[in-house]
């Protein structure tokens, strides 16, 4: 088996080496805190008084001749001074037998045998043995990058987007530092099955979520990345009841918070969360910004009533000790592409302490200030000023790079991605980019290539990430979520820019995103009429001719009280209701708009609803539909039959998923045969009665007139329920495989000044 030692920093490699030698020697190895080691990375005793020492060289990128040179000029002097009884040398470089003989000769007589020289192959062989897997699992980054675990990880993605997410997580894992937050997060997931990681931007919510997810994927859970539609996750849940699945939702609610609450999707979300909480074979990891969850909680009675915040784990800088912050900074520096003279700036006069103790320290800023591709042509003498400014003014962290080190074309790709809600397919981005160049004033600057292919290469890995979704299909997402924060705060008054971006994108996602920006006041509402009228003037005629009903519904829903566009909305609605078999997914918004435009709209019939209501799967939209049917006395047999089918399908799923919260314990009793074996008695009739009562109670919120007209009866549902299977699922007990010790740390202890200095000590 192969292990990727490149993911470990030098301190982590030392801890690993000490663990290996301790187990191989069957002799306790003392590990000294990081710092100037005098040639000692670990110590053990040979007999009672003879000292043995371990020296580690994590020299993956160093050439073998350079390694030998260092050993002769630096390490040999230290070893002679120490005069150990035994000397063990460990390196992450590949070593041939000839190499080992040369190293043994250098350290004669302290290295007794070639077996005391460990190279990459020796470490791989030792760690691959089954009896040594405990060492691998204690070294988290080594464990998740082992070939066996990677095989599990990459084979456990449920769909295309999930595969991309897993690859991104694994590629970022080398910067991860295990802190107490990781252990607490695992504990919450084991106890509740659900965790909502909250905190301010940049605090590390996504990073923690990523690594909690990887932990479970490596333990055999299949992985499902939920983006917008929770219905897909519900389907997977129903289809894979016996499988272990971890669901993952980054930026829960996000810019779609108001849409989720106003369209009554909050009940949908809560039901799914509660379903996960009841099933030990499923886990759900979500991240959300604190202010968004606070606002959503204040607006949603459903979130309040179902105590969604019981699943919350708030991340703050206060959760991190100074040692945690020192590890984070050190790890970023170690794995950065910073030239040595820039690293010297951080080490000068122990300035790293100023960074660690800064009031605005957070992992995102650390990532930013240690990424030389972001600050471009900055000189070493200006680097410290740049660091302090980034810490003092984190809200403009992208300003220098975005405004001074990119051109209009690279910015255009970024704008388009931001206003398409942070992700966009390559085909759409290419089309939108070419359209944007034709309708918006763009300074092309020099005579360099401004084609999409040329510009996207400049933007990728600095402002955007390009991810392979499936064969030859790519998607672009923001390189860092804070880019959107910067763009939205810096350009919110650029009305022409915003309108031209939406025109170029021509997607429902961009319209929905614009709606969310107005609702959250990220664009001043005084601009709404101006933007809406401009967009209606641009899109209305050709969208109407194309019969792109969902796009027109989304556009109208921005503000259907606008008198200047009302006449056109009215014409669009009349065209829709008179069209031949119109279809779409935006039934909630359509019913809201139709209700507002009565009595201007005259209905010849209601067949236009048929293909809009085909896939309704939430009770609030069903309630809205039934009210609409009652209000207009709709008698269309096809629609009424479809409503009956939708209600039955919805309530069946309600029962199957136990969203009615039946307390099975009340109906199960246990007695014993004389041999002592248990016998389970189940009151099936009692369970059926409670299900029937709960379904009838649930339907109290639905329009009784329509229920009577379709003769809806819950008895058919109750009579078809396999209660035995429900009880069996209830009784199933999933044993957790949680190992709280399966993590590693290259230094633990207090957060004293000496300990911080020791981490940053350079040999």
On whether residue 662 sits in a domain, the answer given is yes
On whether residue 342 sits in a domain, the answer given is no
Judge if 105 and 168 occupy the same domain. Answer: no
Residue 742: pLDDT band (50, 70, 90) is very low
Judge if 203 and 313 occupy the same domain. Answer: yes
Residue 509: pLDDT band (50, 70, 90) is very high
- For a pLDDT cut of 70, what percent of the chain falls above it? 82
**H or E stretch at 84:** none
What CATH number has the domain bearing residue 103?
A: 3.40.1350
Provide CB contacts within 8 A for 185, sequence distance 6+.
195, 197, 208, 212, 313
Scored b (16 or more CB within 10 A) or e, 521-548 reads eebeeeebeebbbbbbebbbeebbeeeb
Rounded Cα distance, 302 and 266, in Å: 7
Rounded Cα distance, 75 and 59, in Å: 14
Domain closes at, from 138, 160, 194: 138
- For a pLDDT cut of 90, what percent of the chain falls above it? 17
At residue 444, the pLDDT reads 74
Mean pLDDT of 685-693: 86
Rounded Cα distance, 361 and 390, in Å: 10
Q: Which residue range forms the structural domain that includes residue 77? A: 5-138
At residue 574, the pLDDT reads 92
CB 627 within 8 A of CB 643: no
Residue 576: pLDDT band (50, 70, 90) is very high
Judge if 90 and 148 occupy the same domain. Answer: no
Which residue, among 145, 111, 154, 152, has the nearest Cα to 127 in the 3D structure? 145
Judge if 186 and 66 occupy the same domain. Answer: no
- In DSSP terms, which residues pair with 88 in a beta bridge? 54
On whether residue 631 sits in a domain, the answer given is no
Provide CB contacts within 8 A for 649, sequence distance 6+.
none
| pLDDT tens digits for range 207-227 | 888 888 888 888 888 888 876
At residue 543, the pLDDT reads 94
Judge if 82 and 159 occupy the same domain. Answer: no
Residue with the bigger pLDDT between 755 and 506: it is 506
Q: How far is CA 25 from CA 19, 57, 479, 744, in A?
A: 10, 20, 46, 20
Rounded Cα distance, 569 and 594, in Å: 10
At residue 736, the pLDDT reads 39
Scored b (16 or more CB within 10 A) or e, 480-499 reads bbbbbbbbbeebbeeeebbb
Place of tokens 């010790």: 741
Helix or strand or coil: residue 464?
strand
At residue 741, the pLDDT reads 41
- In DSSP terms, which residues pair with 286 in a beta bridge? 196, 249
On whether residue 761 sits in a domain, the answer given is no
Which residue, among 574, 517, 529, 510, has the nearest Cα to 547 in the 3D structure? 574
On whether residue 529 sits in a domain, the answer given is no
Residue 38: pLDDT band (50, 70, 90) is low
Rounded Cα distance, 15 and 444, in Å: 53
For residue 741, how many other CB atoms are within 10 A of its CB?
9
Judge if 310 and 421 occupy the same domain. Answer: no
At residue 734, the pLDDT reads 37
Provide CB contacts within 8 A for 662, sequence distance 6+.
687, 690, 691, 694, 726
- Of 6-20, 538-552, 616-630, 720-734, the range with the highest mean pLDDT is 538-552
Domain closes at, from 472, 494, 516: 494
Judge if 270 and 150 occupy the same domain. Answer: yes
- In DSSP terms, which residues pair with 611 in a beta bridge? 583
Give 632's DSSP letter: T
On whether residue 760 sits in a domain, the answer given is no
Q: What are phi and psi of 344, to 5 degrees?
A: -60, -35
Judge if 37 and 157 occupy the same domain. Answer: no
Judge if 160 and 115 occupy the same domain. Answer: no
Domain closes at, from 123, 138, 153: 138
| pLDDT tens digits for range 437-487 | 999 988 876 677 889 998 998 888 678 888 877 777 888 988 777 788 888
What CATH number has the domain bearing residue 278?
A: 3.40.50.300
Number of domains in the chain: 4
CB 530 within 8 A of CB 576: no
Which residue, among 396, 91, 420, has the nearest Cα to 256 in the 3D structure? 420
Judge if 253 and 290 occupy the same domain. Answer: yes
On whether residue 10 sits in a domain, the answer given is yes
Residue with the bigger pLDDT between 572 and 362: it is 572
Which residue, among 743, 747, 746, 737, has the nearest Cα to 139 in the 3D structure? 743
Judge if 132 and 155 occupy the same domain. Answer: no
Residue 44 has pLDDT above 70, yes or no: yes
Judge if 225 and 147 occupy the same domain. Answer: yes
Which residue, among 279, 288, 282, has the nearest Cα to 260 in the 3D structure? 288
Place of tokens 């389970």: 680
What CATH number has the domain bearing residue 413?
A: 1.10.10
At residue 167, the pLDDT reads 73
Integer-rounded Cα Rg, in Å, for the chain is 31
Q: In angstroms, how far apart are the furthest CA atoms of the chain?
A: 101
| pTM reported for the whole predicted model | 0.67
On whether residue 409 sits in a domain, the answer given is yes
Helix or strand or coil: residue 712?
coil
**Angle formed by the axes of helices 147-155 and 205-218, nearest 10°:** 100
């Amino acid at each position: 088996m192969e292990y990727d030692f490149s993911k470990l920093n030098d301190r982590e490699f030392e801890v690993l080496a000490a663990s290996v030698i301790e187990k191989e020697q069957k002799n306790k190895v003392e590990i000294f805190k990081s710092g100037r080691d005098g040639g000692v990375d670990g110590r053990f005793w040979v007999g009672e008084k003879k000292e043995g020492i371990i020296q580690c060289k994590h020299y993956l990128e160093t050439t073998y001749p350079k390694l030998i040179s260092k050993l002769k000029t630096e390490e040999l002097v230290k070893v002679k001074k120490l005069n150990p009884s035994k000397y063990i040398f460990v390196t992450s470089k590949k070593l041939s037998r000839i190499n080992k003989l040369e190293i043994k000769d250098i350290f004669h007589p302290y290295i007794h045998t070639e077996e005391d020289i460990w190279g990459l192959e020796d470490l791989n062989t030792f760690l691959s043995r089954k009896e040594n897997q405990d060492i691998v699992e204690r070294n988290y980054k080594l464990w998740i990058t082992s070939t066996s675990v990677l095989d599990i990880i990459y084979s456990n993605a449920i769909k295309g987007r999930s595969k991309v997410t897993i690859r991104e997580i694994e590629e970022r894992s080398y910067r991860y530092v295990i802190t107490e937050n990781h252990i607490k997060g695992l504990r919450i997931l084991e106890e509740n099955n659900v965790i909502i990681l909250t905190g301010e931007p940049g605090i590390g919510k996504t990073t923690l979520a990523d690594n909690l997810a990887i932990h479970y994927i490596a333990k055999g859970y299949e992985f499902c990345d939920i983006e917008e539609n929770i219905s897909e996750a519900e389907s997977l849940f129903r289809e894979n009841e016996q499988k272990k699945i971890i669901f993952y939702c980054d930026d829960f609610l996000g810019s779609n918070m108001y849409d989720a609450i106003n369209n009554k999707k909050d009940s949908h979300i809560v039901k799914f969360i509660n379903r996960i909480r009841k099933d030990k074979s499923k886990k759900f990891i979500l991240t959300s910004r604190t202010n968004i969850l606070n606002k959503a909680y204040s607006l949603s009675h459903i979130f309040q009533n179902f105590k969604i915040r019981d699943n919350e784990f708030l991340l703050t800088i206060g959760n991190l000790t100074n040692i945690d912050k020192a590890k984070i900074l050190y790890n970023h520096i170690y794995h950065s592409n910073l030239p040595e003279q820039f690293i010297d700036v951080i080490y000068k006069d122990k300035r790293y302490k100023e960074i660690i103790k800064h009031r605005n320290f957070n992992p995102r800023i650390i990532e930013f200030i240690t990424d030389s591709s972001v600050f471009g042509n900055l000189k070493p003498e200006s680097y410290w000023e740049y660091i302090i400014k980034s810490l003092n003014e984190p809200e403009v962290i992208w300003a220098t790079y975005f405004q001074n080190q990119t051109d209009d074309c690279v910015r255009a790709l970024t704008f388009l991605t931001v206003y398409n809600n942070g992700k966009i397919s390559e085909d759409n981005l290419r089309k939108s980019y070419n359209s944007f160049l034709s309708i918006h004033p763009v300074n092309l600057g020099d005579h360099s290539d401004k084609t999409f292919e040329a510009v996207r290469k400049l933007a990728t890995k600095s402002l955007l990430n390009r991810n392979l979704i499936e064969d030859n299909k790519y998607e672009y997402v923001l390189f860092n979520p804070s880019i959107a924060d910067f763009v939205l705060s810096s350009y919110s008054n650029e009305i022409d820019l915003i309108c031209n971006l939406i025109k170029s994108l021509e997607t429902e996602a961009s319209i929905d995103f614009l709606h969310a920006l107005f609702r959250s006041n990220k664009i001043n509402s005084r601009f709404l009429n101006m933007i809406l009228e401009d967009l209606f003037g641009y899109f209305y005629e050709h969208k109407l001719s194309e019969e792109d009903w969902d796009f027109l519904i989304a556009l109208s829903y921005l503000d259907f009280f606008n008198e200047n566009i009302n006449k056109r909305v009215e014409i669009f609605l009349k065209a829709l209701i008179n069209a031949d078999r119109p279809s779409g997914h935006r039934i909630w918004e359509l019913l809201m708009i139709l209700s507002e435009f009565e009595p201007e709209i005259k209905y010849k019939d209601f067949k236009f609803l048929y293909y809009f209501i085909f896939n309704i799967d939430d009770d609030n939209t069903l309630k809205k539909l039934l009210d609409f049917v009652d209000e207009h006395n709709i008698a269309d047999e096809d629609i009424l039959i479809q409503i009956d089918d939708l209600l039955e399908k919805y309530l069946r799923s309600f029962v199957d998923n136990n969203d009615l919260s039946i307390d099975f314990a009340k109906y199960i009793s246990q007695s014993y045969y004389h041999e002592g074996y248990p016998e389970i008695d189940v009151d099936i009739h009692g369970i059926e009665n409670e299900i029937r009562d709960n379904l009838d109670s649930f339907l109290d919120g639905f329009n009784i007139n329509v229920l009577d007209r379709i003769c809806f009866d819950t008895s058919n549902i109750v009579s078809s329920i396999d209660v035995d299977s429900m009880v069996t699922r209830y009784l199933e007990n999933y044993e957790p495989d949680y190992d709280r010790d399966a993590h590693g740390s290259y230094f633990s202890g207090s957060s004293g000044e000496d300990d911080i200095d020791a981490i940053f000590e350079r040999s």
